[in-house]
Amino acid sequence: MVFYLVTVILLIALAAVLSLQWRLNRQIVNKQLETHKMMFPSQIRSARKTYVRGLQRQARGVRAWRVVAIVLSVLAAIGLFIALSIHYQAALPMTGLDALTQLMAWFIAGVQNLFLVPAMVLALVAIGLGFYLAHWQYRALKTADDKSQGGPQDLYWTPPALLKRQYQLKQILLGLLAALSVFLLVSGVADWIPTPAGNLAKVKESTTIKRTIIPAESSSTDSSTTSSEATSSSSSVAGQSTTAEYPIDVMKKAALAPASALTGLTEADHAALLYMEYWTLNGLDTATIAKYTQDKNVSYAYHTVTGANGKLIVFSQTYTINGEKTQTYMFYGWLNGEESRLYNMYESKTAITSLAQQYGITVSGNTVKPKNVEIRDSVMNVRQLVSAFTSYHDYQTVKQGLQHGAAIPLQ
């Protein structure tokens, strides 16, 4: 009874923390909706997840430890499932105390702990990695927010109090998981896990065979074999969760189109490519991006920058609320030879009289160069963008749906 009571208390506490995390994430998304009124909550959540994956992608060591933590968690879950299955399916009617019955009692007890103990050890290692990853993510997001020039206008920015609360809830959740793992580990070793109907307990009370942990020295061969089998059987599961192809990954892996593919590109083509890159970085697929340009309530436009010789393109959106039209500037793209970069304009509603002065662009003769930091992961080869997008029908939809807005002065 005590085993079930403690387990239920820990599970209720875990459920409570998960509920608080869900409410906190919803609160963060609602904060973003205040400054990004034309985005759906699902789009904001997707964009922020993609942003965190971008941070992990840049830190190779962190990404590797995350994969290790996922694999260990899967193996621990499989081991726990097998151990509990053995324990509870062992409650069979046993009347005789012959050699076969005694052998069954020993086999069930030994195999259960052979799976339970390593599973909980793996779980504790994975939880330890979880603490490290949670701390790294908190520091990385805090540093990025401190450097952000957009503040609350930045889609990836999180209010400091909410960011810290998010980190604290992760620590509490991991702490509860660690407590549950230790409790299950001790319960298996000390034989605290109740057996239904007491059938196996009756057998053990009538025999001298007691449940013991197989020493590491004597079970090294068996446990290593079992672990390798569990690893191979779960590798496909872990692989599915760590090798999923996200839109941004597909774009980044696209091959370079021939240099001749750039010859016939018009400004409308450049605009469509940069627009699709921007939303891909925010986690959207090409079909969803194409739907954006067909929205009757929101229109998207690209603007020629006079005096920039086609090297700068500004993007805006115009939406109508209560009959009133509002235009905001989303981002601008810089084309430097075959290279392209995107720069955030933070949904600015301020009219642009000089793009260079208002957004920190150096102009020297026919050369333009932004001073600000580009949007994360937005440095791309235009030939790669051509290869990634132009083969889709959605590309033509985007190209036709984007409006050509009024020209914007460079100086």
**pLDDT over threshold 50, residue 321:** yes
Q: CA-CA distance, 57 to 269, in Å (whole number)?
A: 29
Percent of the chain with pLDDT over 70: 80
pLDDT digits (tens, 9 = 90+) for 84-112: 777 666 444 444 444 444 444 444 555 56
CB atoms within 10 A of CB 207: 13
* Average pLDDT rounded to a whole number, residues 180-199: 75
Q: Which of 317, 316, 313 is nearest to 382 (CA)?
A: 313
Lowest-pLDDT choice from 24-33, 186-195, 304-313:
186-195
> Which residues, in sequence order, are bridge partners of residue 319?
298, 326
Q: Would you say how long the chain is, in residues?
A: 411
Cβ atoms of 379 and 334 closer than 8 Å: no
pLDDT bracket for residue 35 (50, 70, 90): confident
**Residue bearing the bigger pLDDT, 225 or 263:** 263
Cβ atoms of 317 and 38 closer than 8 Å: yes
Mean pLDDT over each residue of the chain, to the nearest integer: 81
pLDDT bracket for residue 225 (50, 70, 90): very low
Entry pTM: 0.55
pLDDT digits (tens, 9 = 90+) for 158-167: 888 998 999 9
**Residue bearing the bigger pLDDT, 363 or 324:** 363
**pLDDT over threshold 60, residue 258:** yes
Q: What is the pLDDT of residue 112?
A: 61
Q: CA-CA distance, 212 to 139, in Å (whole number)?
A: 44
Q: What is the pLDDT of residue 318?
A: 93
C-alpha gyration radius of the chain = 29
Q: What is the pLDDT of residue 257?
A: 94
pLDDT bracket for residue 244 (50, 70, 90): low
Q: CA-CA distance, 213 to 233, in Å (whole number)?
A: 25
Q: What is the pLDDT of residue 196?
A: 54
* Average pLDDT rounded to a whole number, residues 314-332: 90
Q: What is the pLDDT of residue 94?
A: 43
* Average pLDDT rounded to a whole number, residues 208-213: 36
Cβ atoms of 277 and 342 closer than 8 Å: yes
Which pair of structure tokens corresponds to residue 189?
């070793």
**pLDDT over threshold 50, residue 20:** yes
| CA angle 55–60–63, rounded 5-degree value | 70
pLDDT bracket for residue 279 (50, 70, 90): very high
Q: CA-CA distance, 165 to 168, in Å (whole number)?
A: 5
**pLDDT over threshold 90, residue 267:** yes
* Average pLDDT rounded to a whole number, residues 108-125: 78
Q: CA-CA distance, 290 to 300, in Å (whole number)?
A: 11
